[in-house]
Structure 1
Amino acid sequence: FLFLRNASATLIPSVVVPLSLVGTFGAMYLLGFSINNLSLMALTIATGFVVDDAIVMLENIARHREMGKPPLQAALDGAKEIGFTLVSLTISLIAVLIPLLFMGDVVGRLFHEFAVTLAVAIFISLLVSLTLTPMMAGRMLKGELQHEREDFLTRVIARYTVWLDWVLDRQRPTLLVMLATLVLTAGLYMVVPKGFFPSQDSGVLQVVTEAPQDISFAAMAERQQALAEKILEDPAVASLSSFIGVDGTNTTLNSGRMLVNLKPHEERADRAQAIIERLRTKLSDPATGVTGIRAYLQPVQELSIEDRVSRTQYQMTLTSPDMEELALWTNRLLERLQQVPALSDVASDLQNQGLQAYVEIHRDQAARLGVSVAQIANALYSAFGQRQIATLFTQANQYRVVLEVDPSRGDGLAALETTYVPTRTGGPVPLSTVATVTQRPTPLLVNHQGQFPASTISFNLAPGASLGEAVEAIEAAQREIGLPLSVEARFQGAAEAFRSSLSNTLWLILAAVVTMYIVLGVLYESFIHPVTILSTLPSATVGALLALLVTREPLDLIAVIGIVLLIGLVKKNGIMMVDFALEAQ
């Protein structure tokens, strides 16, 4: 409306958006797609692309109307003149998305639906722009159309003409600047930090707690409760749920979990990552934290490819046939990684420092007293097991009666020393009379991966660090400590997907450029015109990479997709310039 000063002209392109999106919804239904984060992102991006074609068509029709042509004739001439340009724009833009369709691994499966949805929306917008937009323009553009060119826009066009003449008079330096921009693009790509998925603030934090491996259930419950109270003191926390005990997620007694619900965004000043840093500082301080338990915090992500619950966000697994060698090198690597500035909350799930009591029976002494091994086993089970001796029934419930040793008689080895076993004569004797109890370290848990013993080292990123920097630092640490070939180290989950996607990122961008060149070459039947159109890409890519450096954001998958779409957007402007230049010839 600001340019054409006509309400009807404003209404025409606005109709294209809902029609294109409705058509896209129909295609998504036929393809079996769902409404999710990725498809919604595609539809959001498509909104800008679909209206662009209609605006180009309408502007060209309006130009013919300003020549004095009647509305219907202006619509026919304008559509005929700009039709090939719109087809070129759409086909080349869809061609940019082709590499996304053939991405492999988990990332490819994630973004396949995104690429198809966006391509369908762009194609439907082309059909609408070539049919409905000219028809509506021929029927609705009845009044006078006047571009607002008397002041600001006229001065902009005049200044652009001066600059264009200046550039055309200096073609060789301009080409050198373009080549320098291409080199600068490659340099910026090398120095910009790399990432995988941006961290989301979903309003939920996951907390994994870890206590000493020889802790009891009662002590673990007490410390977990104290830790929960400390977390609830934070003004940004609304509520939490806490879990301890051995289950499908907590594989050992000394670990626990919490899900912390944050207050809505409008009721808190900080984002999730800042809250995590504040809680981490508070809980790790001996004066304000809880002694004997450690908490590992990470934000819950709506889009995640992790297949396990770990202490922190990223994981690396070590495997070896030798359990002792695995434990040795896990501890060495853990100590080295805890010194890396790019990492925080480095932890391992190696649980080999538990305690186990061994009862060694003196068989000669037990035989003299008439104590059998079965009697000793039954006495121990009655004292420390879950022996059910009765069931009490009421009108509504039933209660199982379970034997246990009197807690006042002590715990640990002290409870074993006060345990009595029956003899043949009927009188009980202390367990220490017929057996010796010793305490030895033992693994609480032995994880396996690929049938081999495995341990997982998990880590978070330090503030300001990228996943690419962390991966490089970990690989350097492995070389520094001399990790043997018998111990295999491999990233898992998001870290592993990042490594595979990092090697494909550059090829993805190059494939998009090559695909566009081939498509444009076929459309224009020329080798030179596609080069002219694509010559604007380096400057746009430099701007994108500089924006990432200035904002200290990593080049993650979302940024790569943004650059790919930016390539398509910049290319559209180049196509229009080349088309009008060819028409002017």
Structure 2
Amino acid sequence: MLEAGADGEIVRLRDVARIELAAGDYTLRARLDGKNAAAIGIFQAPGANALQIRDAVVAKMDELRPRLPPGVEIQSIYDTTIFVRDSIKSVISTLLEATLLVVLVVILFLQTWRASIIPLLAVPVSVVGTFAVLYVLGYSINTLTLFGLVLAIGIVVDDAIVVVENVERHIEEGASPVEAAHLAMREVSGPIIAIALVLCAVFVPMAFLDGVTGQFYKQFAVTIAISTVISAINSLTLSPALAAKLLRPRDAARDAPTRVIERLFGWIFRPFNRFFQRSSQRYEGAVGRALGRRGAVFVVYLVLLAGAAVMFNAVPAGFIPVQDKLYLIAGVKMPEGASIERTDAVMKRMAAIAGEIDGIRNEVAFPGLNPLQFTNTPNNGVVFFTLAPFSERSRSAEEITAELNQRLGEIQDGFTFAFMPPPIQGLGNGSGWSLFVEDRTRLGYGALQEAVQAFQGAAAQAPGLGYPITSYQANVPQLDAVVDRVKAKAQGVPLTELFETLQTYLGSAYVNDFNLFGRTWQVIAQADGPFRDQVEDIANLRTRNAAGDMVPIGSMVDIRQAYGPDPVIRFNGYPAADLLGESDPRVLSSGQAMAQVTALAAQVLPPGMAIEWSDLSYQQATQGRASLVVFPLAVLLAFLVLAALYESWTLPLAVILIVPMTMLSALVGVWLTGGDNNVFVQVGLVVLMGLACKNAILIVEFARELELQGKGIVEAALEACRLRLRPIIMTSVAFIAGTVPLVLSSGAGAEVRSATGVTVFAGMLGVTAFGLFLTPVFYVALRKLANRPLVSHAPRPAAHEPVRIDA
């Protein structure tokens, strides 16, 4: 009730207003597959588990579904955990495939079930132990930790292989299994400890990086370091005990399982053994010749170092690979001042076009939503297209996006575009580069608009960049309400009353709350549509003066047509305009695109304006070269650990000098496959550093021990190469086999797994070949350069003899 007259008449609110229970905001709409919808986004809180939240949401949806009115449905259109679950399934599948390949390699080399089972038991021991330690440290089992375990599978069997191979060698020389185990552990305990310490030292710098890059590095580093330590403990304790119990003397009769294996696979074992024997003899001769021509070998090594530097510059820089996350983002930008109905009509055409493209399943449209700022503007709209599962389509998201962009070009009413989502949710709105153009000298909104348009034009002409989009416009039609304060004062209208009236009539105002249907609703007051449809309607609106009289607003307010910026953005305190661009990955990597954008900005932008990277591009600009810090620190720590173990400054160099070959061979593999030097390639390079040192340690440690026993430097190096060739080849082939599923990855997260897989596959292949020949040359050259005998600072253990213990 608004008023009661003297005669009893009552003026109610319904007499002067239209009252309805409706939406609180009409600036944004939602539509699912052409039908009106209400979209609800559910986001996890920091530290929460996405999979648990998803299960709880689905359970609540199932609970609510029977209570919905007829004709209303509730659906889950996009679920980020589908990608997470698929990624975990793919990683687990890769883990099992890698384990199987490692099993086959171990059987191929050891050729008996008794010897093969010992290194294979290291896999479950290390995996279970790693999970236990990760749990204690507060880590979760996610795609990154599982991915780290995939890389660790080939590492955890290495130490056990070294133990078993050495025990078998002593058994072949006539020792009993127990004596062979003692002799073998006396020889390999030092290398196993050294390898574990070096691998941990290599990963230590990764664990202390901060930022986005640090989060990726840290989980890999912790996972692989834990599995390495557990593997070393297993190889020093369980593996020799199993070898002493399971392996049989040289002249013992073969048991039934061994005879079955020989009968089934002997046709593979026999030619393989002959091939390996001939290769070993040729390898010994090649190493002998290399030791005799050390100068020429060092010249080749310097050439290879130059090649590594060339490859480092040749492989384009990247950051995080763009991934197929089962959805695409499309947007439309209509002319300034376009109504939301006009925008909605264009978006319906976009949905119809997308429905004809194979691989697109659903569309969720939001007319009135700015795709860059995610603010409500009637001339913008966003459509999220969900894709069919990986198993139901043959094309990648990148291919679908390319076709969608081509087909959307048919629409001439507005500027349409489509792009893939960002690699990391929350860091940007798209998969490309993003930045702000800053007006640092206050040249004005018009000058900023001209600079943005010039930059867009230059980018569109640059190969591989394309036309970047912006939400900034400096000439958006607006209405300026110019208040004549003298007239307002003369008519007794307070300015606060005037401004509140304009706000209520044109923009709406909150009044109070009321309860209905068990909920609290807001009361919103606003002039009805027909009374605020035209500019002239504003002048007819009335406000109350101090005397209580209604005064027309037009008598003191002049309404003028104007133009101004929308949205008004400030970035780092400066007036700014946002830009989002997509580069063609077949032409430019993300690092190359950013370098080209920086060069274009320097050429096109006027003095006083500059660009500032944002979102994922900012992370890449500030942290993308973390490897320049990680690699030197990893090498330095590995060198210091070896120097402490050997009590020498020269012997560690024989191990460390092989590390650059990992970069050469790995980057050649990345270059040949068209990849870029991204975070996951760098993780692979760090893993390769440790593995390269591992192989070199096996040769250097044995050569050192043989030299301590009285052999000459060259003789000790040749003998170490002969004795260590088989375990080095076995462990390297086992690791390479374990990376094959990564190289051939498909499905969710395949882009990440493939990047690391190619790196470690090519790197391990190359560094094994280089290391077998270069490491003995480095050892001999450095020992002769040192020109002093080795000194053992620890007492030599006596040969193992049984001891009688009397009660």
**Equivalent in 163, 168, 184 of residue 78 of structure 1:** 184
Question: Residue 553 of structure 1: CA displacement?
Answer: 0.6
* Alpha-carbon separation, structure 2, partners of 1:45 and 1:551: 20
Per-residue displacement from partner, 1:158-198 (whole Å, max 9, x unpaired)? 23233223323322111100111111111211222000011
Residue from 368, 389, 402 that aligns with 1:264: 389
Match of 1:427 in 2: none
Letter paired with 1:548: V
In the TM superposition, residue 466 of structure 1 has moved relative to its aligned partner by 0.9
From 301, 317, 324, the counterpart of 2:436 = 317
Name the residue aligned to 2:338.
Answer: 215
CA gap of 1:100–1:4, structure 2 versus 1, over 3 A, is same
> How far is the alpha carbon of 1:483 from its aligned partner?
4.0
What is the CA-CA distance between 1:360 and the residue it aligns to? 6.7
Show the 5 A alignment for 1:467-506: 467-481=590-604, 483-484=606-607, 486-506=608-628
Q: Which residue of 2 aligns with 1:280?
A: 405
Partner of 1:198: 321
Partner SS state of residue 318, structure 1: strand
2:205 to 99, 108, 120: 99
The equivalent residue for 1:161 is 284
Residues 231-380 of structure 1 aligned to structure 2 (within 5 Å): 231-245=354-368, 249-283=374-408, 285-286=409-410, 289=411, 291-301=413-423, 303-304=424-425, 306=427, 309-310=428-429, 313-319=432-438, 320=440, 322=442, 323-324=444-445, 325-358=447-480
Change (3 A) 1:128 1:373: closer
Query: Is the CA contact (8 Å cut-off) linking 1:205 and 1:300 kept in structure 2?
Result: no
Q: Distance in 2 between matches of 1:463 and 1:107?
A: 21
Compared CA separation, residues 374 and 316, structure 1 to 2 (3 A): closer
| Change in CA separation of 1:48 and 1:345 when aligned onto 2, cut-off 3 Å | farther
Paired with 1:565 and 1:445, the residues of 2 have a C-alpha distance of: 47
- Give the aligned partner of residue 638 of structure 2: 516
CA gap 1:582/1:403 in 2 versus in 1, 3 angstroms: same
Following TM superposition, by how much is the alpha carbon of 1:479 offset from its aligned partner in structure 2, in angstroms? 2.2
Displacement of 1:263 in angstroms is 1.0
Once residues 102 and 378 of structure 1 are traced to their aligned partners in structure 2, the CA distance between those partners, rounded to angstroms, is 55
Give the CA deviation at 1:312: 5.7
Q: Classify the secondary structure of the residue corresponding to 1:205.
A: strand
Asked if structure 1 preserves the Cα contact closer than 8 Å seen for 2:506 and 2:526, the reply is no
**How far does residue 255 in structure 1 lie from its aligned partner after superposition?**
2.5
Deviation at 1:83, TM superposition (A): 0.7
CA distance in 2, matches of 1:573, 1:69: 26
Give 2:118's aligned residue.
Answer: 12
AA matched with 1:151: R
Please tell me the residue identity of whatever aligns with 1:356.
Q
Q: Structure 2 vs 1, CA of residues 417 and 208 (structure 1 numbering), >3 Å: closer, same or farther?
A: same
Q: How does 1:104-119 map to 2 (within 5 A)?
A: 104-119=210-225
Amino acid at match of 1:215: A
**Residues in 1 aligned to 2:574 and 2:510: alpha-carbon distance in whole angstroms:** 38
Pairwise CA RMSD = 3.8
2:658 matches 1:536: yes
**Matches of 1:395 and 1:505 in 2, distance apart?**
59
* Counterpart for residue 404 of structure 1: 528
For normalisation by structure 2, the TM-score amounts to 0.63
Q: CA deviation at 1:128?
A: 0.8
Q: Letter of the 1:181 partner, please give it.
A: L
Measured against aligned partners, the alpha-carbon deviations of 1:127-186 in whole angstroms (never above 9, x if no partner) come to 011101111111111365998564222222123233223323322111100111111111
Task: Report the residue type matching 1:457 in the other structure.
Answer: L
Partner of 2:770: none
Q: Which residue of 1 aligns with 2:715?
A: none
**Higher mean Cα deviation, 316-325 or 61-70?**
316-325
1:98 alignment partner, SS class: helix
Tell me, yes or no, if the aligned pair for 2:322 and 2:431 is still in contact at 8 Å. Answer: no
Structure 1 residues 209 and 53, CA, compared in 2 at 3 Å: closer, same or farther?
Answer: farther
| Kept in 2: contact 1:356–1:440 (CA 8 A) | yes
Residue 37 (structure 1) aligns with:
143
Give the percent of matched residue pairs that are identical in Structure 1 and Structure 2.
Answer: 27
Alpha-carbon separation, structure 2, partners of 1:42 and 1:239: 35
Tell me the amino acid that sits aligned with residue 255 of structure 1: N
User: Could you list the per-position Cα deviations for residues 452-472 of structure 1 after superposition, in whole angstroms to 9, with x for gaps in the alignment?
Assistant: 322222211123211221122
Once the two structures are superposed, residues 279-314 of structure 1 have per-residue CA deviations (whole angstroms, 9 ceiling, x without a partner) of: 11111x23xx3622412312353x4561xx446632
Contact 2:449 / 2:473 at 8 angstroms: preserved in 1? Answer: no
3-state SS of paired residue (2:468): strand
Say whether the 8 Å CA contact 1:417–1:431 is kept in structure 2.
no
CA contact (8 A) 2:328 2:418 kept: no
- Map 1:128-139 to 2 at 5 A: 128-139=234-245
Tell me if structure 2 keeps the 8 A contact 1:189–1:545.
yes
Q: Which amino acid aligns with 2:366?
A: F
Equivalent position amino acid for 2:350 in 1? L
8 Å CA contact 2:421–2:431 kept in 1: the answer is no
Q: 1:91 to 1:437 in 2, by over 3 A?
A: same
User: Is the aligned partner of 1:59 residue 2:165?
Assistant: yes
Judged with a 3 Å threshold, the aligned counterparts in structure 2 of structure 1 residues 75 and 30 are, in CA distance, closer, same or farther, namely same
Whether 1:183 and 2:303 are equivalent positions in the alignment is no
CA distance change for structure 1 residues 378 and 326 in 2, over 3 Å: closer, same or farther? closer
**TM superposition shift of 1:482:** 5.3
Output the TM-score relative to the length of structure 1.
0.86
Match of 1:90 in 2: 196
SS in 1 for 2:473: coil
Report the 3-state secondary structure (helix = DSSP H, G, I; strand = E; otherwise coil) of the residue aligned with 1:338. Answer: helix
Query: 1:384: Cα distance to partner?
Result: 5.8
3-state DSSP class of the match of 1:479?
Answer: helix
- Aligned residue for 1:443, secondary structure, equals strand
C-alpha separation between the residues in 2 aligned to 1:117 and 1:499?
27
Q: Is the 8 A contact 2:455 2:605 kept in 1?
A: no
CA gap 1:217/1:43 in 2 versus in 1, 3 angstroms? same
SS in structure 1 at match of 2:384: strand
- 2:329 partner SS: strand
Correspondence for 2:777: none
**Are 1:565 and 2:565 an aligned pair?**
no
How far apart in 2 are the matches of 1:30 and 1:19?
17
Segments of structure 1 that go 5 or more residues without pairing to the other structure are 425-429
Distance 1:395 1:130 in 2: 71
> 674, 680, 683: which is aligned to 1:552?
674
**What SS is found at the alignment partner of 2:417?**
strand
Structure 1 residue 556, shift from structure 2 partner: 0.8
- The one-character-per-residue Cα deviations of 1:59-110 (angstroms, maximum 9, x if unpaired) are 1111112222222222222122111111111111111112212334331244
